[in-house]
Chains A and B, each alone.
Chain A
Amino acid sequence: MLNPLNLKENFLFNSHDLKIYSPKDFPSYLPKLNNLYDDLFSGGKGFRAKLVKWVGESLRLSREAEHLLAQTIEFIHNASLLHDDLVDRSHLRRGKPAAWTKYTPEYAVLAGDYLLARVMVNLSQFGNIKLVQYTAEMISDLLEGEWLQDSVVGDFFVSPQQLDLIHELKTASLFKWCLKAPFIAAKKEDPELLAIIDEMGSLLGLLFQRSDDLLDYDIRNAEGKAVLGDLKSKYLNSFGAFICQGKSRTEIDNIVRSQNLETFFQAVGGKHFFDLKLKEFDEMNSQKIELYFHHMSRLKEKLNNDEQDMINFLSPLPDLLYWRKKPG
């Protein structure tokens, strides 16, 4: 069992420890399939799978059920990455050539579809129809979010509120699933409890997305993500939309043409203005974090005594996901 008090150790273990992907689970007669999945599953942090496992362990789920749920979320997440890279024409994924460039677009699409099909096969074997239904709903939300996001590529006047709706579907749906699916698998179906979990998942998803969007502007970018990558791909992310609010067409045209952070700062009105907007953005998200802790205290009241260690896992998540602070 994971030790809730030693979070640092838990955050450091990699996705291989969870054995999310094994070539034995997939037909070896299909050309390139296992090579493609080998590339895809190596290098990912497997954070969503860990989240599922932490919640599952607190609920005393069987290891088999925990593994199934962890595998499910990683399969869905990776299927979305396979499709996403092709849709966005991204050439790199986790510093390596994206699957569609290395194995052809056709194989990338089919490999993504196959993962989603395998999710349904595995879940239906588990025999919890509510879990199957909830997972199918989550995949629908994810796809709706992807679809809408694609429809705003190249739109530099999109509002932060409009992006929030997209992120709620695309990103938050997965986080909600990570927290809620173990409860459904454990047949803990108190609607109020599930609603609290849902709200917490939604807030975590939003915080993660906004923090991820800040990496594009080299804010708390310890993992060294490419700077201005979204902007150069003609996608105005949540912080970009926040900073561009109220700017004129000419100003936005200049911002969009920025090739590096220096020119970006100049275009938005100087580094001082950028810092002020960042402070405002952080304050806005601190309020979301406050809301998260409010829901967590409600959750604490609903959990049984032997499930309380879940709170220890959930408490540092805003710090980890938004402020990118390593726990421990």
Chain B
Amino acid sequence: MKRLYTVSKKSQNFEKYLDGTFSATDVALVLETHNLNSLEESITFEIKNRDQIVKPNWLQILLTLSKPYKFIYLFFPVLFILLDFLIHGVEFDQLTTVLSVISAILLFLGINLMSDFRDHLQGFDRVNENHKSKPIFLGWVRAIRVKQSALCLIFLSFLFSIPVLIAFPRLLFIVVITGTIIFYSLLRRKKSYRDHLFGDVFWAILVGPLLSTGMQVAFSGIVQLKYFLFGCVWGILIFFRIQISNFEHILSSSLAKVKNLVNYFGFEHSKKFLFSIWTLFLLSFVFFQAAFHHWLIWMGTVLIIFFMGYKQFRLLYKLSSPSGSEMKIVNEGLKVLWASMIMLWLVQIVFEYLMIISGANFI
């Protein structure tokens, strides 16, 4: 016989059961949620003794918690800036570069864990599979531990950034804006970016222009328009990826009254919305490349991605239901399009770098 316990949002114990602080010996696993995102919300937990939980090894828990695939958001801009510095002979400080990359990794990890914690408390991990943190959901770790680890990582990130800030004080400006956005979107007790219609824009700004501008300052102390513009283009691409995920879960998240732009536009208009973001990305990509690179380098990428996009968006426009299997196929296609774009862009910058070190100079 299972030990079941239902707790309503109005109860003082509601958060304690969700964050795992209700007992030192038991674990509460979410079984069913009712009236999500409303004052009448209630959750039924299955209560298990801590010893009953079968946990994988700590490395697997750590890997699952850190979601390695998401690090592309961070590593691509870092790689782009570093390779571009090498291509154009921009001098950069190796120590501040290493420290700032470590700081960025810690911050990124901290933000991701904090986001998992917020999603668990607010119930978005019960609506959207992509937001589900398996270690929390399966009782491998308590949500409160995830929050504590996140705060610890954010603090460590700040510590690693101190020497860089001393070396390049102008970086403080970026740190203050980043800190404000993180506080506003994740660290406030009651609200998070998910309560805001434009909440996903925070992410795009954070991993887009703020990250690229911050990195170039931390690496070299200089601010160039080129890297800011790169950050904007990258931010649009990240925003597109987030919207694909939102679109995939439009039905469940709309029923749970989740606020985001896809739910605001609805099923049919969201197709146009996704197409508009993609078009905006392609135009900004072409503008960026035309301004800073020889056309031979980037034209192939644009043509390939244009035709790939044409095929995927035709399928998207034909999509007839938000609840059928086609939805998954179309969204997988859009994710492949997104990943292909990054791959081609990566190939382009590596090719450009190899051309330079091999002595070919047509740029």
Taking Cβ atoms with an 8 Å cutoff, the residues of A that contact B are 148, 151-152, 155-159, 162-163, 165-166, 169, 191-192, 194-195, 198-199, 202, 287, 290-291, 294-295, 298
Contact = CB atoms under 8 A, between A and B. Distances in A.
Given A152-B324, A202-B34, A195 B4 contact: no
A294 B323 contact: no
9 nearest A-B pairs in the assembled complex, by CB-CB distance: A157-B325, A151-B321, A155-B324, A294-B4, A152-B324, A162-B323, A199-B34, A148-B323, A195-B40
A157 B321 CA distance: 13
A141 B321 CA distance: 17
15 contacts: A151-B324, A155-B326, A157-B324, A158-B323, A158-B325, A159-B325, A162-B251, A165-B252, A192-B8, A194-B40, A199-B32, A199-B44, A290-B2, A290-B4, A294-B4
A233 B35 CA distance: 34
Contacts of A169: 255
Given A158-B325, A195-B34, A195-B35, 19 more contacts: A148-B323, A152-B323, A155-B324, A155-B325, A158-B323, A158-B324, A159-B328, A162-B251, A165-B251, A165-B255, A165-B323, A192-B10, A198-B34, A198-B35, A199-B32, A199-B42, A291-B4, A294-B44, A295-B44
Contacts of A163: 323
Nearest to A192: B8
Contacts of A294: 4, 6, 44
Contacts of B326: 155, 157
A259 to B, nearest CB: 23
B64 interface: no
B43 to A, nearest CB: 11
B48 to A, nearest CB: 14
A298 B40 contact: no
Contacts of B10: 192
Contact of A155 (B32, B40, B321): B321
A291 B325 CA distance: 29
Output the residue of B44, B251, B325 with the most chain A CB within 10 A.
Answer: B325
Contacts of A191: 39-40
B347 interface: no
A199 B6 CA distance: 11
B13 interface: no
Output the residue of B251, B324, B326, B328 with the most chain A CB within 10 A.
Answer: B324
Contacts of B276: none
A159 B325 CA distance: 7
A156 B326 CA distance: 10
B320 interface: yes
B31 interface: yes
Contacts of B42: 192, 195, 199
A169 B256 CA distance: 13
A163 B323 CA distance: 8
Nearest to A157: B325
Contacts of A158: 323-325
Interface string B1-43: 0101010101000000000000000000001101100011010
A251 to B, nearest CB: 14
A195 B320 contact: no
